[in-house]
């Protein structure tokens, strides 16, 4: 490894102008999304003073996220992906303008606010699968993980700073200013996407056999152990060990119930994620992406079990920071593996499946944790969930040798950083060629 390789790998930003534009736009959109999330929550609460109404925000965002995410996956495999992201971002901009307009007009209808929120989420979800497929087409194979690490770092930064910035904006000015800030961020994202080259899906099936579009995505995932293993690893970690719903209970039982402490729980996770991102050069240069994901997912489960056992505040923060770092490593390696192992003609649909798992897994995991805690206790739910997740990940590793042996394809000698070769792209049911590492060794 070259000197400095253990720190953040910035080769994608330095070497690819299109990726640089994509990263700037995605980062702006993420910050804007965090501002809008806090503004919507605060406005709904101001209008209703009802926890049921604030809970309805989850319904207004969750349903469009899943439905339009699946639709966006199909569109990404039959249309120019840049055009899909451009249209979806334009829809987001219109919804953001609508949110700003209703705040300026003094809207008192929570239904209208939730409808506009759902439209905003639908635009983001529609473009999400196509956006996920862009780094692998804009970067050499050996830089895809580094590009995803940069995206994840900007997401973690948005999670850490976005809500605080939104609180300041709403408190100092008003809701309309917050929504205007989001609209401005989405406009930056729109301009960034407009500077990307056309990214049309490769492979004839994507254009000529649309009737099999939905089935094609599932078939290729089920037939390739690296894909279903990577997704099963992520689902095991989030479904069995998602801690956010238990934070208030743990805070009340062990740390006095202060809202400041509750907020620090979330900040600790984000700090761990940012730290892992800043030192991600070590991880993104490793070619054993499947093994790295398995280890990181196992560490996530064990760290959350440690959080459940922690009796003092600083050990609890430490466990959450470790969990956040492990989650970042797992997300980056999984994202790179899924994109590199999926033939380009199916990347949109497979990305939409990854998107749905990423959305549904944490939500169902929070529900599972809350239900178990209601009949036992929050610490028991955390410890049992974390250890069970680690065991489930170990089981995936035990039965999935191709995932354990997976190696990132090396940069080809004449690789210009454009597209990655796609073996077997015409047959979604084709098994992985030869031995588990055959694609990497070519």
Identify whether the C-beta of residue 388 lies closer than 8 Å to the C-beta of residue 240.
yes
**CB contact at 8 A, 357 and 232:** no
- Helix H or strand E encompassing 289: helix 289-309
| CA–CA separation, 292 and 336 (whole Å) | 12
What's the rounded Cα separation, in Å, for the pair 83 and 174?
Answer: 34
Q: How many helices (DSSP H) and strands (DSSP E) are in the chain?
A: 19, 0
Which tokens hold the place of 429? 């049911």
Amino acid 203: pLDDT: 65
- pLDDT tens per residue across span 368-421: 888 888 888 889 999 999 999 999 999 999 999 999 999 888 765 444 344 444
CA quadruple 100, 103, 108, 109: dihedral, nearest 10: 10
- Is the backbone of residue 434 left (phi > 0), alpha (psi -120 to 50) or beta? left
Q: What is the pLDDT of residue 358?
A: 82
Residue with tokens 């430490």: 318
Residue 166, pLDDT score = 82
Q: Looking at residue 55, what is its pLDDT?
A: 67
- Is residue 40 a contact partner of residue 57, using CB atoms and an 8 Å limit? yes
Write phi, then psi, for 65 (nearest 5 degrees): -65, -45
- Are 179 and 39 in contact, with CB atoms under 8 Å apart? yes
* Regions of the chain with pLDDT less than 70: 1-6, 51, 55, 203-216, 259, 263, 411-442
Cite the DSSP H helix spans in 224-258: 225-240, 247-254
Separation of alpha carbons 18 and 15, rounded Å: 9
Dist CA 65 CA 83 (whole Å):
19
Q: Alpha-carbon distance 92 to 253, whole Å?
A: 41
Local structure of residue 413 (DSSP, 8 states): T
For residue 381, which of 390, 371, 391 has the smallest C-alpha distance? 371
Task: Report phi then psi at 317, rounded to 5.
Answer: -60, -40
Query: Which domains are assigned to the chain?
Result: 13-201 (1.20.1250.20), 212-411+420-442 (1.20.1250.20)
The first and second tokens of residue 179, run together, are 């929504």
First to last CA, the chain: 22
pLDDT in the model for residue 434: 33
Q: Give the C-alpha distances (Å, rounded to integers) separating 46 from 43, 50, 59, 107, 169.
A: 5, 9, 19, 12, 16
3-state SS string over 313-336?
HHHHHHHHHHHHHHHHHHHHHHHH
CA distance 301 to 208: 44
What pLDDT, on a 0 to 100 scale, did the predictor assign at position 316? 94
pLDDT at 424: 42
């Amino acid at each position: 490894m070259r000197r400095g390789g253990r720190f953040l790998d910035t080769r994608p930003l330095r070497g690819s102008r299109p990726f640089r534009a994509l990263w700037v736009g995605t980062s702006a959109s993420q910050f804007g999304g965090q501002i809008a999330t806090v503004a919507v929550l605060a406005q709904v609460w101001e209008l209703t003073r009802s926890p049921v109404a604030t809970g309805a925000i989850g319904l207004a965002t969750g349903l469009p996220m899943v439905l339009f995410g699946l639709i966006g996956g199909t569109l990404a495999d039959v249309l120019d992906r840049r055009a899909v992201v451009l249209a979806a971002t334009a829809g987001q901009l219109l919804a953001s303008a609508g949110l700003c307009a209703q705040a300026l007009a003094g809207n008192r209808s929570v239904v209208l606010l939730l409808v506009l929120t759902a439209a905003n989420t639908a635009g983001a979800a529609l473009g999400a699968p196509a956006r996920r497929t862009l780094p692998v087409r804009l970067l050499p194979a050996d830089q895809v993980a580094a590009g995803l690490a940069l995206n994840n770092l900007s997401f973690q930064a948005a999670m850490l700073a976005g809500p605080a910035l939104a609180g300041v904006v709403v408190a100092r000015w008003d809701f309309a200013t917050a929504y205007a800030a989001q609209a401005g961020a989405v406009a930056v994202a729109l301009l960034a996407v407009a500077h990307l080259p056309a990214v049309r899906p490769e492979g004839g099936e994507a254009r000529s056999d649309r009737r099999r579009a939905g089935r094609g995505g599932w078939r290729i995932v089920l037939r390739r152990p690296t894909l279903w293993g990577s997704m099963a690893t992520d689902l095991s970690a989030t479904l069995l060990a998602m801690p956010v719903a238990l934070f208030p209970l743990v805070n009340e039982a062990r740390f006095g119930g202060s809202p400041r402490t509750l907020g620090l729980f979330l900040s600790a996770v984000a700090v761990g994620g940012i730290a892992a991102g800043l030192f991600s050069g070590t991880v993104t240069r490793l070619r054993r992406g499947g093994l790295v994901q398995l280890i990181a997912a196992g560490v996530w489960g064990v760290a959350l079990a440690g959080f459940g056992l922690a009796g003092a505040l600083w050990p609890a923060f430490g466990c959450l920071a470790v969990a956040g770092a492990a989650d970042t490593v797992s997300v980056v390696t999984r994202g790179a593996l899924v994109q590199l192992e999926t033939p380009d003609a199916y990347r949109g649909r497979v990305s939409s499946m990854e998107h749905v798992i990423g959305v549904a897994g944490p939500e169902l995991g929070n529900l599972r944790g809350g239900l178990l805690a209601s009949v036992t206790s929050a610490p028991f739910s955390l410890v049992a969930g974390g250890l069970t997740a680690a065991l489930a990940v170990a089981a995936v590793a035990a039965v999935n040798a191709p995932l354990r042996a997976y190696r990132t394809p090396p940069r080809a000698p004449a690789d210009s950083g454009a597209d990655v070769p796609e073996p077997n792209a015409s047959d979604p049911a084709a098994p992985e060629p030869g031995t588990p590492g055959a694609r990497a060794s070519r």
